[in-house]
Amino acid sequence: MIDKPKLEHPSRANVLGVGLSAINLDLAEAVVRQALEQKTKGYVCVTGVHGVSEAQRDPEFRAILNHAFLNTPDGMPMVWMGQLQGFRHMGRVYGPDLMLRVCECTLSRGFSHFLYGGAPGVAQELQRRLEQRLPGVKIAGTFTPPFRPLTSREEDDLLRQVAAAKPDIFWVGLSTPKQEKFMAQYWQRLEATLFFGVGAAFDFHAGRVRQAPRWVQRCGFEWLFRFGCEPRRLWKRYLKNNPLFILRALGQLTRLRSYRLE
């Protein structure tokens, strides 16, 4: 009998004390595929400036990110910080791109998916569009949670629904840090292998929110595009977090301040 190759976790770049997996989209796909084939349970976070900034204020959230199976560089500043630390191959692993890539690579292997999150109707529309875009993709179920913690009855309903569906992949489309805290709380209780917190990917792929053009994403100005689309909701996140992140990153890069990677 041939032993399966051991699943090796990628190295991590230290971004203000948050460990970002030193990967790109192709490497992420390979690691995810191997984990699914070996039934290696865990959760995957996709982290940008907002997530790293939240982690500065919330040690519990920082620990959740640092204990993830993968914590992918969702924003270009994460990529630049990693490359400056010597991880030249590091590339952006954007939540919406990762979702599509994983769905595509599971088509021939029969892995199934569960969609959790979004406003009412979003998960169902996302299912319809994914099935239209990727014929043969297996969506085992959807669940639209309330905008508050689950009650014991709602939790029992979710546990039963997932136990019946037995998905391989559980997608979570909530905001940061809500989705990461949900995964940390439930990934060992729900009957699925890998959990992905992909946030706005639900709204993007369901056609509810416009995505920034690729050239804007590559330049690192997606935040400005999204701010222009949703200023009332996002102004506090970007106008507060972005300047603070730049100052902290400069402090780390110039070694005026050190950040311990747990």
pLDDT in tens, 62-101: 999 999 999 999 999 999 999 999 999 999 999 999 999 9
Strand partners, 89: none
Chain length of the chain: 262
Q: What is the mean pLDDT of residues 214-238?
A: 66
Look at residue 235 in the predicted model and tell me its pLDDT: 62
Look at residue 217 in the predicted model and tell me its pLDDT: 67
Strand partners, 14: 19
Question: 2 pLDDT exceeds 60?
Answer: no
CB within 8 Å of 139: residues ≥ 6 apart = 112, 113, 114, 115, 127, 130, 131
Contact 223, 238 (CB under 8 A): yes
* Residue found by looking up tokens 């391989």 in the block: 168
DSSP-derived 3-state class of residue 121 = coil
Interior CA angle at 136 toward 134 and 139, to 5°? 90
All structural domains of the chain = 12-205 (3.40.50)
Q: How many CB atoms lie within 10 A of CB 157?
A: 13
Lowest-pLDDT range of 79-93, 167-181, 235-249: 235-249
Look at residue 160 in the predicted model and tell me its pLDDT: 96
**Which comes out higher in pLDDT, residue 139 or 147?**
139
Look at residue 223 in the predicted model and tell me its pLDDT: 61
Contacts 24+ apart (CB under 8 A), 242-249: 242/49, 244/53, 244/56, 245/16, 245/49, 245/52, 245/53, 245/77, 248/16, 248/56, 249/15, 249/16, 249/77, 249/81
**Which comes out higher in pLDDT, residue 1 or 65?**
65
Q: How confident is the model at residue 102 (pLDDT cuts 50, 70, 90)?
A: very high
Q: How confident is the model at residue 1 (pLDDT cuts 50, 70, 90)?
A: very low
**Which comes out higher in pLDDT, residue 113 or 240?**
113
pLDDT, the chain, mean: 90
Lowest-pLDDT range of 140-144, 155-159, 218-222: 218-222
